[in-house]
A and B are shown apart, each in its own frame.
Chain A
Amino acid sequence: KNEVEQSPQNLTAQEGEFITINCSYSVGISALHWLQQHPGGGIVSLFMLSSGKKKHGRLIATINIQEKHSSLHITASHPRDSAVYICAGRNTDKLIFGTGTRLQVFP
């Protein structure tokens, strides 16, 4: 069993749909990161969370420390949101990565 698990593995959506990606972790972490990786390979850091909720544009990330669970929401999804979304737990200055969720948004 992975220490950081994501669901779903693959997700397809129509433009405009509300999207949720879930992340559960079984190890102690000081923060949880949400990352976005486009087909070109580069990675962009979307959020770093240690509690509560953060919002940036159409993206919202939440974390429940007691339940060891985090969610990434995308409102009004757009084809340019198509990417792999990765959650990662920060443990003693190292990241423990989930397996990623491949999102495709169709026009």
Chain B
Amino acid sequence: EADIYQTPRYLVIGTGKKITLECSQTMGHDKMYWYQQDPGMELHLIHYSYGVNSTEKGDLSSESTVSRIRTEHFPLTLESARPSHTSQYLCASSAANYGYTFGSGTRLTVV
């Protein structure tokens, strides 16, 4: 049973729309991450958080933004979606001396 939940699972939207991808975890993990992955390619870290009110940009530049107002919730927002944002977005969480738990991902298509 998943302890980290991502919604929606699939999303097709038009260019210029604002979207928010949701990620919630029930494990009380301090650390949360957003990864972007194109088909058949590696995962790239785009945002991470070490706790409430802490957010940092990852290794891959992204036009998205994130917030961490509650420990369990780490949403990702695109203010104006473009076709170049088409990708899979994976959320993950971890705690000290604990492995990573990944969500099922959101597959985003911008038309």
Contact = CB atoms under 8 A, between A and B. Distances in A.
A43 B42 contact: no
B102 A42 contact: yes
B102 A93 contact: no
A49 B80 CA distance: 41
Interface stretch (B11-19, B20-28, B66-74, B103-111): B103-111
A95 B44 CA distance: 9
Interface residues of B, number: 23
Given A33-B99, A93-B31, A42 B105 contact: yes
Contacts of B48: 93-94
The 5 closest A-B pairs by CB, nearest first: A43-B102, A48-B99, A42-B104, A41-B105, A45-B99
Interface of B: 31, 33, 37, 42-43, 45, 48, 50, 58-59, 88, 90, 92, 94, 98-105, 107
Interface of A: 33, 35, 40-45, 47-48, 86, 93-95, 97-100
Given A41-B37, A94-B48, 11 more contacts: A33-B100, A40-B104, A41-B90, A43-B102, A45-B99, A48-B98, A93-B31, A94-B33, A95-B43, A98-B42, A99-B42
